[in-house]
Structure 1
Amino acid sequence: MKVAIFAEASEKIGLGHLRRCAVLAEEFMQEGDQVEFLTQTEFANNWLKKNKPNIYPSNLEVTECDLAIIDSYTLTDDDITRIFLTKCHVGFDDLNKKRKIFSMQINPAVSFDPKIQIIDPAFKKAVRKTNRPEVKTILISLGAFSTPENIEKITLQVEKIFPSANIISTPKATKKKSMPELFQEADLVIASGGQTIFELAITGTPTIVLKHVDNQNANINFIRQLKILNFAKNNQELQLALIKLQSQHERNQQTELSRKTFDFKGAKRIVKSIKQRCIKQ
């Protein structure tokens, strides 16, 4: 079976769409399927080259395939019909738009189902059983919102509670270490509400989540319902969450609960469901 996958990625959009589609691509490849992975930016290509060298990207252009998976906010229905020559279009639907072009829609956060979260197996090595007694290293990971201004504002709040902590931030920190390695190093993470929060949850990494844009609502509402991470809407709430997580007991409780909520089989379950749907067509 030939599978075409397109995921948007840029400095403005971030890497969440690309990373989850890369995990799906690897799952299809493990099952012996031919995968054509389509991209639009050097930003996406460079990330794949560094982190997923087994995936060779192609430029977004007309392609014939047995099924197409689209993770895009910008491609119109006409674009999808014109580019992906197939009867089975599968789309990520984070905003719950229920687009008719899609034979099947993937919406893990909207469906509130932990069993279909797509989480990269690379994070298995970052799963922790417990936490160190003191918070000495704090990672700020805001994805597309990792601007110097945002990092500085958060750093000022962190330093009020943890004046001696080593504060590191992405994307600068990822030039030397992978995200799983950074999770292992961090005693606490402050993250935006994108794909990263599921990776933080499954690894049991103590986390405070900040919302930066409305399309993160589904992820944040899902995690809130599960009651496994901390959230902050403003500086006051951020400081209260930081104070709470000074306690090793609080951090260990979060680690134990969040680690048990997800597994690394979400991509396998989704691929199975996609094949069942598309084979019927």
Structure 2
Amino acid sequence: MNKKIMIVVYGGFLRGMGHVVRMKRLAKELIQEGNDLYFYTNEQVCVEMLSHSAWHVHLVKESNVILQIEQDIKEINPDLLLIDVLHCELQLLRSIKASSSNAKLVLFEEERTEACQLADAVVNGIYGGLDEKHLQVNGTDYFYGTPYLLLDHEISKLKDTYEVRKECKKVVISLGGSDPEGLLTKAVSALREAGHLHILAVTGKASRIEEKIKATHIQFIRHTDQLSAHLAEADLAIVAGGMTLYEAVCIGVPSIVLSQVDHQAVTATRFAQKGACYHLGLGRLVDEKDIWRAVRRLSGSYFLRRSIHLNGRSLIDGKGTERVKNILIYLMNHHQKEHKDV
């Protein structure tokens, strides 16, 4: 009998699209195991991103989400509940917990003690730092570190084939699914005179940026599911400190980082300290001339690009999605054990 999995994930212009992207990646793995999946999300752009013939996608109003989720939990009787919502309301988590007598509850990128105590497992691939750690506290399993990152399943293959070329010719710029600070425009503008480079600028699904900069060496593309493949073709990347940075580090693409928010700056600083990227800081505080200096420095130095490439390769193996899938399958298959009561 198929297992039933409900996934609550929010995204959008202010929240970004990283949550939605990683849950879709995980869903593709879980659906191959013969499970039935039900998505609940908050914005139409997220519905479009999640759309797939293999599962159900529901648009919910955040003001009414508790009532709808409670009702659907009773009808579906799920085996597993996955929550990937930034600062998810504790009232929603408690309601989900109370409504599901059988389902295992798993939270993603959650640090608040009062939220984690409600869960059977917490997966912190980003918040958990660079080193792997698995522990259990008061009945909740915690999985920390980059081994649990939900990256594209093609990443490990691209990692095996990527090589740093002596001459830097292609730069890929990707600064998030929503880019609320408008950093892509700043980065592209900084390189408008770099005619010796081919610039591929990727705008995200929820981005409101208009393509105003015209130059023969600059190409814009709207949201793509092939971003990892584009990164693997780049000699240099300019990225934010979110999921795309992890992908670039895993593949080994030398990267310059313009962080969108504070927690991304923390991530990028960790990688920079390992020599695995070149972090310029919070993007809104960075001048175009600083971006151009960084690009000129790295594009002109094969030694620096190769050093960043080698330093990053050992930090992420790209197999986190498979690991997390196996963790979730284990949780569902041990349904007969007493459900955690908080």
Same structural fold, with TM-score higher than 0.5 when normalized by the shorter chain: yes
Residues 277/110 of structure 1: CA separation in 2 closer, same or farther (3 Å cut): same
* Higher normalized helix content (fraction of residues): 1
Gaps of 5+ in 2: 61-67, 130-144, 204-219
Q: How far apart in 2 are the matches of 1:145 and 1:133?
A: 33
The structure having more radius of gyration, on CA atoms, is 2
Mapping 1:7-26, distance limit 5 Å: 7-26=9-28
Instruction: Give the structure 2 partner of residue 111 of structure 1.
Output: 128
Alpha-carbon distance in 1 for matches of 2:185, 2:24: 31
Preserved contact between residue 193 and residue 220 of structure 1 (Cα < 8 Å): yes
Percent of aligned pairs sharing the same letter: 22
In structure 2, the residue matched to 1:67 is: 80
- Could you say which residue in structure 2 is the equivalent of 1:152? 185
Cα gap change, 1:179 to 1:42, in 2 (>3 Å): same
Superposition deviation, residue 149 in structure 1: 4.8
TM-score (norm 1): 0.83
Letter in 1 for 2:150: I
Alignment of 1:14-163 (within 5 A): 14-49=16-51, 54-60=54-60, 61-62=68-69, 63-64=72-73, 65-83=78-96, 85-87=99-101, 88-94=104-110, 96-98=111-113, 99=115, 100-112=117-129, 113-124=145-156, 126-127=158-159, 128-144=161-177, 146=179, 149-159=182-192, 162-163=194-195
Query: Partners of 1:9 and 1:55 in 2: how far apart?
Result: 18
By how many angstroms is 1:269 displaced? 1.8
Aligned partners of 1:69 and 1:91 also within 8 Å: yes
User: Which residue among 302, 309, 312 is the counterpart of 1:248?
Assistant: 302
**Equivalent pair of 2:275/2:307 in contact (CA under 8 Å):** no
Q: Is the 8 A contact 1:203 1:259 kept in 2?
A: yes
Structure 1 gaps of 5+ residues are none
Residue of structure 2 equivalent to 1:200: 248
Question: CA separation in 2, counterparts of 1:225 and 1:274?
Answer: 33
| Alpha-carbon distance in 2 for matches of 1:273, 1:219 | 25
Post-superposition CA distance 1:140-172 (Å, at most 9, x none): 211145369533322343356x44322232215
CA RMSD of aligned residues (A): 2.9
Q: After alignment, is 55-64 or 67-76 more displaced?
A: 55-64
Query: CA–CA distance in 2 between the matches of 1:4 and 1:213?
Result: 29
66-75 or 270-279, which deviates more: 270-279
Which of the pair has the greater relative contact order for Cα pairs under 8 Å at 6+ separation? 1
Match for 2:262: what amino acid?
D
**Aligned with 2:126: secondary structure?**
coil
1:179, distance to aligned residue in structure 2 (A): 1.0
Q: Which residue of 1 aligns with 2:259?
A: 211
Deviation at 1:92, TM superposition (A): 1.5
- Opposite residue 297 of structure 2, the aligned amino acid is K
Q: How many residue pairs were aligned?
A: 277
TM-score, normalization by structure 2: 0.70
Determine helix, strand or coil for the equivalent of 1:4. Answer: strand
Mapped partners of 2:49, 2:149: distance in 1: 21
Q: Determine the C-alpha separation between the residues in 1 that align with 2:153 and 2:223.
A: 21
**Counterparts in 2 of 1:275 and 1:257: CA distance versus 1, 3 Å:** same
